[in-house]
Chains A and B, each alone.
Chain A
Amino acid sequence: MTAQSTPATVAAPATEPVKAELSRAARFRRYLRRHPSVAVGGGLLILMALIGIFAPLLWTTDPTAISPSRRTRVPSELYWFGTDMLGRDVYSRVIYGARVSLLVGFSVAVLASVIGLAIGLFAGFIRWADGIIMRIIDGMMSIPPILLAIALMALTRGSIQNVIIAITVAEIPRVARLVRGVVLSLREQPYVEAAVANGARVPRIIFRHILPNTFAPMSVQATYICASAMIVEAILSFIGAGVPPATPSWGNIMAEGRALWQVRPHIILFPAVFLSITVLAVNLLGDGLRDSLDPRLAKTL
């Protein structure tokens, strides 16, 4: 009896934290079940990130190694996705290409969000600056984003860093405008007025009352920026204004496959599928986040 009861009494307190842990995991599982697009999009995105991180381990060879003797092979057991015009292994290039796309997507999303947030908060709070900033934003938004990025890329040499900067500059106006709108509506909220009446200084109002409320719309916006940045990167590389041609990026692989697309369509097909799936994953994640953060919008959009 005692031998049996002792483990039970010992185990009893131990189950308490395990239960709490389980319920948190269960809550997360329920959230994912209710928002399947977050689960699917997030899952695919994690998969792509893993592919990018572990690219050297995924049976790849040097993605830049040129080999004239094995040019334009069709997919085979040896070259899973075939080879391109310079004899480079398309499979290795596509797998390594995940790094460039994800790097550009995430960097642009983070940079454009942070800078746009700062500009939006500034414009929303400092009245005299608002008019000037909004006119500049109107001006920048009247240049179609891809053209703006193309124009900036024309000034510099192609590098991943310059691509990130060019796309970020093209995306900032949209974020700034969104944040400014949120700030202007939040300023009218009673709790902000109460804080002002209590004598709270501007920095405290911004960081305590305004900033936390911009996170929900911002996180949704950031995913859409990430998706759009990956597409713009591919377009820039595709038309020869993006990352250097030797760098394995999905846009570059497709640009190289262009001349041969009628006879060797697989060179374009494989990077196209990877790019589309990645962008789809980010868009699904964004839609799911939007629905879960704003249930009112979920019904309409």
Chain B
Amino acid sequence: MLSFVVRRIITTIPVMAFVALFVFSLLYIAPGDPAAIIAGDQASPADVERIRASLGLDRPYLVRFAEWSFRVIQGDLGTSIFTNLPVTQLIAQRIEPTLSLMVLTLIFAVVVAVPMGVVAAWKAGSWVDKAAMGFAVLGFSVPVFVVGYLLAYLFALKLDWLPVQGYTPIAQGFWPWLRNLILPAVTLGLVYIALIARITRATMLEVLQQDYVRTAQAKGVAQKDVLFLHSLKNAAVPIVTIIGIGIALLIGGAVVTESVFAIPGLGRLTVDAILRRDYPVIQGVVLMFSLVYVLVNLLIDLTYTLVDPRIRY
């Protein structure tokens, strides 16, 4: 087990190294000369050269990559061109709304999608199943921002049940925080629900054909226990895996959802950075999101043994 954990952690190193190389190259080939920008309009070519040398921008690609990586490992993601603030500080300021949104969406989606998939598999072929799977196809087809505007129009503008836009920090109370996040979380959760429900149904259909399920039913175990204890536990590994892989959807969707609902999170930071061509910020956000994604999936891999004791390494 320990050797597996170590091996699995080691395999993420080349992956992260590639991501780092990609993200670094992004800044390297980005249009615009940082030295010229810092020197300003009045500077002579000699001044630009001096600044370039003092920043180390005249050194070879791989040397600069090594230096940059070393700084990143120390937690220095550079400085924003637009605001002149450290990128890590900008990210830290914006992390709470995004984290809140993603965690809430994750909980909401799993709570809705897993029972939906289980019931769809149990009643395979019935109208419940058809409705659930039809909903899943819709969830894949309607873009996140379309869902966002529809929900906001209906529940915020017309019915006036929930705030239209904005974000309230959790420090100002749980209910105001939650009220602002309900619509964004439902919006962002739709694709995720579609994905999880489909995989849950597919896996459950296979499990429900197993002998031990028939045995459980024959000896009179309550149907809900057969479904949610005997079967779901055995279907857990693919479901947990897709929840991890689907985090990529959440990250991409968060960028859009935050724009629709005017949430001042990392997604907004990314969109603003693109519009201003603020490459260090784009770099930092991509690097951080990828790291989170890799780590979440690493953790999920490591929990397989908890989910399914038959798996031994």
Q: B248 touching A279 by the CB < 8 A rule?
A: no
Q: Which residues of B contact A192 (CB under 8 A)?
A: none
Q: Report if A300-B202 is in contact (Cβ < 8 Å); known contacts: A275-B143, A283-B137.
A: yes
Asked if A50 is at the interface (CB within 8 A of a chain B CB), the reply is: no
With both chains docked as a complex, state the minimum distance between the C-beta of B187 and any C-beta of chain A, in angstroms.
Answer: 13
Complexed CA–CA distance, A299 and B248 (Å): 28
User: Which residues from chain A contact B137 at a C-beta distance below 8 Å?
Assistant: 280, 283-284, 287
> 0/1 per residue, A223-240, Cβ < 8 Å to B?
000010001001100111
Q: How far is the CA of A276 from the CA of B31 in the complex (A)?
A: 35
User: Does B274 contact A262, Cβ atoms closer than 8 Å?
Assistant: no
In the docked arrangement, what's the CA distance between A231 and B137, Å? 14
CB contacts (< 8 Å) of B282 on chain A: these are: 150-151, 154
Determine whether A241 belongs to the interface, using a CB cutoff of 8 Å to chain B: yes
A interface, by DSSP: helix, strand, loop or mixed?
Answer: helix
Residue B243 lies at the interface, judged by CB distance under 8 Å to chain A: no
Kindly list chain A residues whose C-beta atoms are within 8 Å of the C-beta of B249.
144
List residues of chain B with CB within 8 A of the CB of A261: 149, 153
Taking each of A139, A241, A254, which has the highest tally of chain B beta carbons within 10 Å of its own beta carbon? Answer: A139
* Cβ-based interface call for B22 (8 A): yes
For residue B70, CB closer than 8 A to chain A, the reply is: no
Give complex CA distance A231, B294 in Å: 24
Taking a contact as CB atoms closer than 8 A, the residue among A146, A238, A283 that contacts B141 in the complex is A283
Q: Give the complex CA separation of A135 and B21 in angstroms.
A: 13
> Which residue of chain B has its CB nearest to the CB of A155?
B30
- A240 and B153 contact, CB distance less than 8 A: no
A272 at the interface (CB under 8 A from B): yes
How many inter-chain residue pairs (CB < 8 Å) link A and B?
138
CB 8 Å contact bits of B256-295 with A (1 = contact, 0 = none): 1001000000000011011101010010011001100110
Tell me if B255 counts as interface (CB < 8 A to partner A).
yes
Q: Using CB atoms, name the residue of chain A closest to B27.
A: A155
Size bracket of the A interface: 35 or more
Please tell me if the beta carbons of B22 and A240 are within 8 angstroms of each other in the complex.
Answer: no
For chain A, residues 265 to 289, give those with C-beta under 8 angstroms from any C-beta of chain B: 265, 268, 272, 275-276, 279-280, 283-284, 287
Return A176 CB to nearest CB of chain B, in Å: 14
Say if the beta carbon of B205 comes within 8 Å of chain A: yes
The reply to whether A301 and B198 form a contact with Cβ atoms under 8 Å apart is yes
Hey, which chain A residues are within 8 Å of B19, CB to CB? 139, 142-143
> Counting CB contacts under 8 A, is B108 at the interface?
no
Known: A136-B18, A155-B30. A142 touches B290 (CB 8 A): yes
Instruction: State which of A136, A150, A254, A262 has its C-beta within 8 Å of the C-beta of B145.
Output: A254
Contact flags B284-313 to A (C-beta < 8 A → 1, else 0)? 011001100110010000000000000000
Q: A146-B252, A155-B31, A240-B271 are in contact. Are A231 and B15 (CB under 8 A)?
A: no
B103 contacts chain A at the CB level, 8 A cutoff: no
Say whether B218 faces chain A, with CB atoms less than 8 Å apart.
no
> How many residues of B are in contact with the other chain, CB < 8 A?
54
Q: Are A301 and B141 in contact (CB under 8 A)?
A: no
Contact of A272 among B26, B143, B277, B290 (CB under 8 A): B143
Q: CB-defined interface of A31-50 with B at 8 Å, one 1/0 digit per residue?
A: 00000000000000000000
Q: Which residues of B contact A62 (CB under 8 A)?
A: none
State the CA gap A280–B142 with chains docked (Å): 7
Q: A150-B274, A239-B274 are in contact. Are A276 and B141 (CB under 8 A)?
A: yes
Contacts of A268 in B (CB 8 A): 146, 149
Asked if A147 meets B146 with Cβ closer than 8 Å, knowing A139-B19, A155-B29, the reply is no
A276 vs B144: C-alpha distance when bound (angstroms)? 10
> Which A residues are CB-close (under 8 A) to B289?
143-144, 147
Q: Is the CB of B143 within 8 A of A144?
A: no
Bound-complex Cα distance A146 to B273 (A)? 15
Determine if B164 is an interface residue (Cβ-Cβ < 8 Å).
yes
Residue contact A142 to B15, C-beta cutoff 8 Å:
yes
Q: Mark each residue of chain A from 133 to 171: 1 if its CB lies under 8 Å from any CB of chain B, else 0.
A: 001101110111111101101110000000000000000
A187 to B201, CA, bound (A): 31
Smallest beta-carbon distance A109→chain B, Å: 16
Q: Is the CB of B143 within 8 A of A143?
A: no
Q: Which of B106-137 touch A at CB < 8 Å?
A: 137
- Report the nearest A residue to B285, measured CB to CB: A147
Q: Is B221 engaged at the interface, CB distance under 8 Å to the other chain? A: no
13 intermolecular pairs with C-beta atoms under 8 Å apart: A135-B14, A139-B17, A142-B15, A143-B19, A151-B23, A239-B271, A240-B275, A254-B146, A261-B153, A268-B146, A283-B140, A283-B141, A300-B202
* Sample of 12 more A-B contacts, CB < 8 Å, known A239-B274, A276-B143: A135-B18, A143-B289, A146-B251, A146-B255, A151-B282, A153-B274, A235-B252, A239-B256, A268-B149, A272-B143, A287-B137, A300-B202
* Residues of B that sit less than 8 Å from A by CB: 14-19, 22-23, 26, 29-31, 137-138, 140-146, 149-150, 153, 157, 164, 198, 201-202, 205-206, 248-249, 251-253, 255-256, 259, 270-271, 273-275, 277, 279, 282, 285-286, 289-290, 293-294, 297
